[in-house]
Amino acid sequence: MTANNDFGLIGLAVMGQNLVLNVESRGFSVSVYNRSSEVTEAFVARHPGKRLQGALTLADFVASLARPRKVMLMVKAGAPVDAVIEQLLPLLDKDDIVIDGGNSLYTDTERRDAYLSAEGLRFVGAGVSGGEEGARKGPSIMPGGPASTWEVMKPVFEAIAARVDGQPCVIHIGPGGAGHYVKMIHNGIEYGDMQLICEAYALLRAAGMSTDEMADVFDSWNDGDLQSYLIQITAKALRQRDPVSGQPVVDLILDKAGQKGTGQWTLINAAENAVVISTINAAVEARVLSSMKSARLAASSRLQGPAGALDVDRKRLVALVHDALYASKIISYAQGLDLMRTMGEKKGWGLDLGGIAGIWRGGCIIRARFLGHITEAWRADAGLANLMLAPFFTRVLNGSQAGWREVVALAVGQGIAVPAMSASLGYYDSYRCAR
């Protein structure tokens, strides 16, 4: 075993494997370890000729790294992270850096940060967004932890992160649990985006549009101010056909959505801080209701809705739904950013909201054109009270509100559930109410 590899990664599941290949492709030598050794052996065997070194014991893994050691954990969030830290602790030396790149709860990260720093080690809780593809080609990275770790980690993080306009999609978020906290909010916002897209789909479908027609609408939205990864892949998903039956895949997929926890954590944190995130709240609750498939089926034949069908000119409906979607999306981000601002101030994290929106422009699931306007908003006014009040967003909201109201009214009239669009409108109207 050599003792000078640049970087070490523990946890060779989908995220870990792809991150390792990304790091290696940027010119770093990487040591890898996985609890089940056969995974390590198979991974290294699949990639001959790369600067990868597999270790079958943690002691060999640690011994193969240059100091200060940089050890990234990509294991399942929760107890596995603590278990690996306990095993690593006796093997590491002062100033070595442990990075947790999983979706850990930020309070766990704070606990681990305090524990490891008392042992003379440095801990970085880093949110990594972009799924498997992002991990391989360039994720958005949200690292927290002490500033001293940023200087050490910056060359690696900047090399592997996605790039937009030449800028890497990574900044030092703040001390302690700040990185994982911001990743949590990112995921809450992602829930909001996905729910709003579902509601737009439900409205277009209620107007009798086929999946191909809807795909064309999403494609055209992706060419405009709604340009984003999620809108783009919605069009793609709508065009997918089942190879056996030839039917659209979306019509065959069981309409039940689960959740892994980050959305729920965001709601709990908002309640604890008395911040309104009604759009994200509606999105999480919509997933809960969607998961109650048998209860919904039973109720569908007993609880009545209005008679008749959605009878609106399709072209006009598409334009109205666009406005409702765009305005509601702005509200969702306004709420997520408000929560980040509130917590950032409470914790003294010094969060750079404009910078955070900037690193979400590439690599991550919520990447979107309009994030650039959020960065500009906070660059123009660091004390901005709410995103809605930045001139660009005020203009969009004022211009969209008529169509947005019409969509919510139509949906209510037709019994189409639009919990996130209507919660967003309720927030907008409450916030602008002087009395």
Does 38 participate in binding ligand NBP (rule CB under 6 A)? no
Residue with Cβ nearer ligand NBP (125 or 336): 125
What's the half-sphere exposure (Cβ side, CA atoms, 13 Å) at 341? 19
Give the span between the Cα atoms of 72 and 299, in whole angstroms. Answer: 48
Interface of this chain with ligand NBP, residues 113 to 142, rule: CB under 6 A:
128, 131-132
CB of 145 closer than 8 Å to CB of 30: no
Interface segment toward ligand NBP; rule CB under 6 A; list 76-84, 112-120, 211-219, 376-384: 76-84
CB of 145 closer than 8 Å to CB of 106: no
CB of 13 vs ligand NBP, minimal distance in Å: 3
CB of 109 closer than 8 Å to CB of 176: yes
Does 327 participate in binding ligand NBP (rule CB under 6 A)? no
CB of 30 vs ligand NBP, minimal distance in Å: 15
Q: Which of 24, 110, 190, 199 is catalytic?
A: 190
Quick one: which of 35, 205, 241, 314 contacts ligand NBP (CB under 6 A)? 35
Phi, psi (5° rounding) for residue 47? -130, 65
**End-to-end CA, the chain:** 71
Interface segment toward ligand NBP; rule CB under 6 A; list 55-63, 79-87, 310-318, 346-354: 79-87
Give kind and range of the element (H or E) at residue 279. Answer: helix 278-291
Give the span between the Cα atoms of 104 and 92, in whole angstroms. Answer: 22
Annotated catalytic residue 183: yes
Quick one: which of 75, 214, 390, 423 contacts ligand NBP (CB under 6 A)? 75
Does 12 participate in binding ligand NBP (rule CB under 6 A)? yes
| Mode of pairing for the β-strands spanning 122-129 and 30-33 | unpaired
Quick one: which of 22, 53, 64, 103 contacts ligand NBP (CB under 6 A)? 103
| Mode of pairing for the β-strands spanning 163-164 and 167-168 | antiparallel
Please list, in sequence order, all residues whose beta carbon lies within 8 angstroms of the beta carbon of residue 203, skipping any fewer than 6 positions away. 310, 317, 321, 407, 410, 411, 416, 418
Cβ neighbours of 352 (radius 10 Å): 19
Residue with Cβ nearer ligand NBP (19 or 387): 19
Residue nearest to ligand NBP (CB): 102
Q: Which token pair is 313?
A: 């000119």
CB of 101 closer than 8 Å to CB of 15: yes
Q: Which of 24, 70, 183, 329 is catalytic?
A: 183
Does 76 participate in binding ligand NBP (rule CB under 6 A)? yes
CB of 15 vs ligand NBP, minimal distance in Å: 3
CB of 123 closer than 8 Å to CB of 100: yes
Alpha-carbon torsion angle 361, 104, 85, 46, nearest 10: -50
Q: Cα angle vertex 379, ends 171, 131, to 5°?
A: 35
CB of 21 vs ligand NBP, minimal distance in Å: 13
Annotated catalytic residue 346: no
Residue with Cβ nearer ligand NBP (74 or 324): 74
CB of 36 vs ligand NBP, minimal distance in Å: 3
Q: Which token pair is 349?
A: 């994290």
CB of 328 vs ligand NBP, minimal distance in Å: 25
Interface segment toward ligand NBP; rule CB under 6 A; list 77-85, 171-179, 222-230, 376-384: 77-85
Quick one: which of 8, 16, 143, 358 contacts ligand NBP (CB under 6 A)? 16
Q: Which token pair is 315?
A: 């072209």
Please give the size of the binding site for ligand NBP, defined by CB under 6 A: 22
Residue with tokens 């967004």: 129
Residue with Cβ nearer ligand NBP (16 or 188): 16
Does 15 participate in binding ligand NBP (rule CB under 6 A)? yes
**Closest of 342, 205, 195, 397 to residue 280, by C-alpha:** 195
Interface segment toward ligand NBP; rule CB under 6 A; list 69-77, 242-250, 399-407, 423-431: 69-77
Residues engaged in binding ligand NBP (CB under 6 A): 11-16, 34-36, 39, 74-77, 80, 83-84, 102-103, 128, 131-132
Q: Kindly list the catalytic residues.
A: 183, 190
